[in-house]
Chains A and B, each alone.
Chain A
Amino acid sequence: GAVVSQHPSWVICKSGTSVKIECRSLDFQATTMFWYRQFPKQSLMLMATSNEGSKATYEQGVEKDKFLINHASLTLSTLTVTSAHPEDSSFYICSARDRGLGTYEQYFGPGTRLTVT
């Protein structure tokens, strides 16, 4: 149980275009989903917290107009990188908390590697 999927697993896009990444909890309901970014040999940096049916909470320094987050249902959150630039190239990972268990454990998706050319 507690599986989180991400799609796509990798994507290459041209500078100036937008990319959407999906995060799904497959066998549980996730009231809260988190989006992280990880640069090579660096730690996971939390970008935003998304709660179902409400606006996402962004961490300091993360542009909310550039990284659009939508959490439309208890099993799906999306991150759209708008007007992508090469410096946005990174590993994007989502995670989710199981509403039913009421625990603080996060289940991570497999990640999406974004390359902007």
Chain B
Amino acid sequence: GQNIDQPTEMTATEGAIVQINCTYQTSGFNGLFWYQQHAGEAPTFLSYNVLDGLEEKGRFSSFLSRSKGYSYLLLKELQMKDSASYLCAVSGGGSYIPTFGRGTSLIVHP
């Protein structure tokens, strides 16, 4: 299986930038996903990285380093609505089905 580690909780100020890290261990890496999940709701897709480097999509960017087993999600110009859980998910080990980490609960305060 995949071992995925991400911080349990982070806090940040509205308008600021926050970086959520994710480290993983897997054989046969097939891709890394980031999802956003608001309390009581289903996850929504944010990004997918399969090659090294930075993928930018509006206020959100995701970075991957396969050699280091490391990814981060960067959120810029934070808004109150960004308060949510951010799930890192990795597919590997011969499967394209991702395994989810425990998620990082981000609290954005004024």
Partners in one complex: yes
Task: Using CB atoms and an 8 Å cutoff, list the residues of chain A in contact with chain B.
Answer: 34, 42-46, 49, 91, 93, 95, 104-111, 113
Q: Does B65 contact A (CB under 8 A)?
A: no
User: 9 shortest A-B CB distances, which residue pairs?
Assistant: A108-B42, A43-B100, A43-B102, A44-B100, A111-B42, A110-B42, A108-B43, A93-B42, A104-B96
8 contacts between A and B (CB under 8 A): A44-B100, A46-B100, A91-B40, A93-B42, A106-B98, A108-B43, A110-B41, A111-B40
Q: Does B13 contact A (CB under 8 A)?
A: no
Partner of B91, one of A43, A49, A104, A109: A104
Q: Does B25 contact A (CB under 8 A)?
A: no
List, in ascending order, chain B residues with CB within 8 A of A109's CB. 42
Q: Does B31 contact A (CB under 8 A)?
A: yes
Q: Bound complex: CA of A105 vs CA of B97, how far in Å?
A: 10
- Give chain B interface residues in 80-110, CB to chain A under 8 Å: 87, 91, 96-103
Which of chain B's residues has its CB closest to A49's CB?
A: B97
List, in ascending order, chain B residues with CB within 8 A of A34's CB. 97
List, in ascending order, chain A residues with CB within 8 A of B44's CB. 108
Q: Bound complex: CA of A108 vs CA of B33, how far in Å?
A: 13
Q: Does B48 contact A (CB under 8 A)?
A: yes
List, in ascending order, chain A residues with CB within 8 A of B30's CB. 104
B87/A104 in contact, CB under 8 A: no
How far in angstroms is the closest Cβ of chain A from B73?
16
Q: Bound complex: CA of A78 vs CA of B94, how far in Å?
A: 27
> Quick one: given A43-B101, A104-B96, are A111 and B48 in contact (CB under 8 Å)?
no
Which of chain B's residues has its CB closest to A4's CB?
A: B42
- Please encode chain B, from 40 to 68, with 1 for each CB lying within 8 Å of some chain A CB and 0 for all others: 11111100100000000000000000000
